[in-house]
Structure 1
Amino acid sequence: MRLPGRLSAAIAVLADVETRKRPVSEALKAWGLNNRFAGAGDRAAIGNLVYDALRRRASHAALMGSDTPRALVLAVAVRDWGEDPAALSESFAGDNHAPEALSAEEMARAVGQLGDDVPGFVLADVPEWLAPSLERGFGDNWIAEGQDMAGRPSLDLRVNSLKSSRERVMKSLARFTPEEAAIAPLGVTMKAGPRDARTPNVTTDEGYLKGWFEVQDQGSQIVAALAGAQPGEQVLDLCAGAGGKTLALAAAMMNKGQIFAYDSDRNRLAPIYDRLKRNGARNVQVRAPQPGALDDLVGKMDRVVIDAPCTGTGTWRRRPDTKWKLTPELLSQRVGEQAAILAEGQRYLKPGGTLVYITCSILPEENDEQIAGFLAGNPGFASVMPEDMWAAAFGTALPAGLATGKGGIALTPRLTGTDGFYFNALRLVE
């Protein structure tokens, strides 16, 4: 497929997302099934067009004077992919798969600039109702944070130290030009390419099949390392999900001690069994959700790790469609769930134990404000100094700008080149 046909396909996928209200991934998969002539390169390019359109939806729409699928995709082609609008329109002529030629207004708008009077939420490419929250969380940097959250993410891997080394993994994946991650000592990264660049399919690599590495954003690796799990400890992973952080904890503990992996959703937990086997993680006991599943652990854990259910605002680069679906009601629901699970998690700690709270959110309601509420109701806890947690995990000083007002650590694309994550460690001192 040539670019005009790819643009038409991206417009169709976005229209499908709007009319059928389904996730972008499902719409892209359906398009591929219905258009089997499209090769892997075509599908990757169409996916990039669609995701780029959603990442910067607000500013694209403001520039084009419309938020229709056509307007958004044309804005991506010119604004993000560097196409000349006149030449692009000319390439549409005689192509049966091309969109209609650009109008004079579309060509003018596509190369225009946003005015000084454009609202901050448009510049930040975030929903308008979230602007006050983001400004409260990031101060004067909130627009810059939003803009970096609208970029393309890298592909990050965590080397499984139980089976391999970073050097060995990088050699295995040399064809993809991997680099060492900037912070995570076991991290490997492959930068996102421009335009129609394809993301490497590393899950077919021999190293992945042998359990040498897992796909895991560097931010997720960092917060797992900050959790501080030590060999020989008793650790409860209370929201284990598919087990990404569980595997990182098992490796950090060198298969010594015990991790109890639990999740209230049996379906989310299902993939963990195969992943544990492939990774050679032998100190993990999976607890399926059922009445009394964790009763024997009350008051016995050295560490309780809560990777809390959240809005996922920290993953907007990877799932930009969720940015525009988030509602105040859903945020309120998640905040309530987080408070409940924090109250539940502290029950399992023994005196002196540590409650680790993690979200993949950039919103203060789910992060510092959630911790402030917990500490107000649980005076026996105190936040561990973020500088101490960072030094223990990485042997370096905490980078400037990462510490939050309530003793947490915030990771963002702008600050750390990672997805957005929040970390706070609370010690039971009484």
Structure 2
Amino acid sequence: MKILPYKNLFIGITGTLNNIFFEGKYADKEVERTLKSNKQWGAKDRAFIAETVYDLVRWKRLVEGAMARPLSPDTLWEFVGTWFALDPEEKLPMWEEFARINHKEILKRHHQSAKNPAVAESYPDWMFEVGKAELGDRWLEEAQAMNIPAPTVLRVNSLKTDRKELQKLLKQRQIKTKVLSKYQDALELEEKTNIFRTDEFQNGFFEVQDAGSQMIAPFLRVEPGMRVVDACAGAGGKTLHLASLMNNKGQIIAMDIHEWKLKELKRRASRNDVQNVQTRLIEAKTIKKMANSADRLLIDAPCSGFGVLRRNPDAKWKLDQPFLDRIRETQAMILNDYAKIIKVGGLMVYATCSILPSENQEQVEKFLANNENYKLINDKTYYPSENGYDGFYMALIERVS
């Protein structure tokens, strides 16, 4: 993208980056906050800011390699200038903040530092090594795929409309989409736009949900009339999908440890015309009381997010090895304890948004080794490099006795 020579845009960019890297804020929320607080910016300005911030978050380590020093609050302008200087066709404005940017030196340092694949693909060393250790030769391909910005995918709410009709309605608003034939209810936007302002979104005709994520609810083999538990429901993306697959018949109990997420789920359910969902806050004895009560169970377990780094590039710099170790322990505990919710003959899906075997296949193998009354029916890993969408793992498990 060619530089827009307006200093206030760069002030917005550096301020947003400061909050992401040094105040612990999330990239998506910070970009949204910056754009909302500067309503005078036009569409081109807003796109420039959002794209530049996400590029710099995604490629942080590569830019630091070209700077030959780590990013700090004092070097934010140099950081931004270095990113643009890496493109020979870009010309930086003649501002004091960019006065020390030397294009030749930057390209020379970049050439040297990028010989390290962790720098070239912009990952911290520990993360790159974990990926190599767990995925071998496959890791580099996945690391590269997760540096490609994520597309916007919609899941059509079949309780209110169908894919053909929604595509037609959006086209009338000059919003072009393409049908993803391998995904039952998915439409992908051809160009990014603020889809949340449309009447179709406000009326609950669709949710924004990655195509990989849309594979999980159907994997559970739900049917209308069943009693289904979504044990780690969060704000309810997969809960709503389950409700549509069940045609609003039966009962879904959506649980989470955070009450605010369940409130958001209720709001979304109302917009989607979902009527068979009951929310339940997880407390000390919640799981024990629900033993042997469900036909189906979804455990969308907390995880490292190693499959969704294209969508959440700031997670590269927020995650660390101790967190990964802790989350594996949490996954094992949840799988072991929550599995008791399903009846004999019932099915559960254990799912994560990670592509690491230690969070996926290895967790399932340990669970089955310790619980002989369950058996694995099928499992699947969706890799970003193969499908162009987020990475997910899902295992379908039956309780046999």
Per the normalisation by structure 2, the TM-score is: 0.88
Structure 1 counterpart of 2:297: 304
The question of 1:226 aligning with 2:227 is answered no
How is 1:101-120 mapped onto 2 (pairs within 5 angstroms)? 101=99, 103-104=101-102, 106-110=103-107, 114=111, 118-120=115-117
The question of 1:100 aligning with 2:98 is answered yes
Structure 2 counterpart of 1:401: none
Structure 2 counterpart of 1:320: 313
* Cα displacement string for residues 84-120 of structure 1 (whole angstroms, at most 9, x for unaligned residues): 14xx13xx13x6xx7424633x345348864598233
- Closer, same or farther in 2 for the Cα pair 1:77/1:190, shift >3 Å? farther
Q: Of 49, 73, 92, which residue of structure 1 is paired with 2:52?
A: 49
Aligned-partner Cα distance in 2 for 1:305–1:224: 8
Q: Of 162, 169, 176, which residue of structure 2 is paired with 1:165?
A: 162
How far residue 14 of structure 1 moved from its aligned partner, in angstroms, is 2.0
Q: Of 201, 205, 210, which residue of structure 1 is paired with 2:198?
A: 205
Task: Report the more deviating stretch, 15-24 or 132-141.
Answer: 15-24
- Runs (4 or more) in structure 1 with deviation over 6 Å come to none
- Closer, same or farther in 2 for the Cα pair 1:302/1:138, shift >3 Å? same
Structure 1 counterpart of 2:189: 190
Aligned-partner Cα distance in 1 for 2:28–2:115: 31
Structure 1 counterpart of 2:4: 2
Aligned-partner Cα distance in 1 for 2:134–2:180: 26
Q: Of 122, 126, 129, which residue of structure 2 is paired with 1:125?
A: 122
Structure 2 counterpart of 1:423: 394
- Give the conservation status (yes or no) of the 8 Å contact 1:123–1:143: no
- Closer, same or farther in 2 for the Cα pair 1:28/1:116, shift >3 Å? closer
Aligned-partner Cα distance in 1 for 2:122–2:334: 31
- Give the conservation status (yes or no) of the 8 Å contact 2:65–2:114: no
How far residue 35 of structure 1 moved from its aligned partner, in angstroms, is 5.1
3-state SS, counterpart of residue 330 of structure 1: helix
* Cα displacement string for residues 129-156 of structure 1 (whole angstroms, at most 9, x for unaligned residues): 1223212333212112111101111111
- Closer, same or farther in 2 for the Cα pair 1:338/1:116, shift >3 Å? same
3-state SS, counterpart of residue 270 of structure 1: helix
- Closer, same or farther in 2 for the Cα pair 1:363/1:124, shift >3 Å? farther
The question of 1:181 aligning with 2:180 is answered yes
Unaligned segments of structure 2, at least 5 residues:
none
- Give the conservation status (yes or no) of the 8 Å contact 1:124–1:144: no
Structure 1 counterpart of 2:14: 11
Aligned-partner Cα distance in 2 for 1:161–1:212: 8
How far residue 49 of structure 1 moved from its aligned partner, in angstroms, is 0.7
- Closer, same or farther in 2 for the Cα pair 1:182/1:143, shift >3 Å? farther
- Give the conservation status (yes or no) of the 8 Å contact 1:299–1:347: yes
* Cα displacement string for residues 218-261 of structure 1 (whole angstroms, at most 9, x for unaligned residues): 11111222222122222111011111100101111112222111
Task: Report the more deviating stretch, 343-352 or 134-143.
Answer: 134-143
Structure 2 counterpart of 1:84: 89
3-state SS, counterpart of residue 316 of structure 1: coil
Kindly provide the amino acid, as one letter, of the partner of residue 413 in structure 1. P
3-state SS, counterpart of residue 371 of structure 1: helix
Structure 1 counterpart of 2:234: 241
* Cα displacement string for residues 267-326 of structure 1 (whole angstroms, at most 9, x for unaligned residues): 121111122122122222222334544555311212110011112232222221121111
How far residue 348 of structure 1 moved from its aligned partner, in angstroms, is 1.0
* Cα displacement string for residues 195-240 of structure 1 (whole angstroms, at most 9, x for unaligned residues): xxxx311112111122111111111111222222122222111011
3-state SS, counterpart of residue 183 of structure 2: coil
- Closer, same or farther in 2 for the Cα pair 1:70/1:206, shift >3 Å? same
Structure 1 vs Structure 2 CA RMSD: 2.6
Structure 2 counterpart of 1:38: 41
- Closer, same or farther in 2 for the Cα pair 1:383/1:329, shift >3 Å? same
How is 1:372-383 mapped onto 2 (pairs within 5 angstroms)? 372-383=365-376
Aligned-partner Cα distance in 1 for 2:108–2:5: 19
Kindly provide the amino acid, as one letter, of the partner of residue 80 in structure 2. V
Aligned-partner Cα distance in 2 for 1:291–1:108: 59
Unaligned segments of structure 1, at least 5 residues:
194-198, 386-407
Per the normalisation by structure 1, the TM-score is: 0.83
How is 1:244-393 mapped onto 2 (pairs within 5 angstroms)? 244-290=237-283, 292-293=285-286, 297-385=290-378
User: What is the aligned-residue identity percentage?
Assistant: 32
3-state SS, counterpart of residue 218 of structure 1: coil
The question of 1:134 aligning with 2:131 is answered yes
Structure 2 counterpart of 1:400: none
How far residue 57 of structure 1 moved from its aligned partner, in angstroms, is 2.0
- Closer, same or farther in 2 for the Cα pair 1:16/1:264, shift >3 Å? closer
Task: Report the more deviating stretch, 419-428 or 107-116.
Answer: 107-116
Aligned-partner Cα distance in 1 for 2:97–2:164: 47
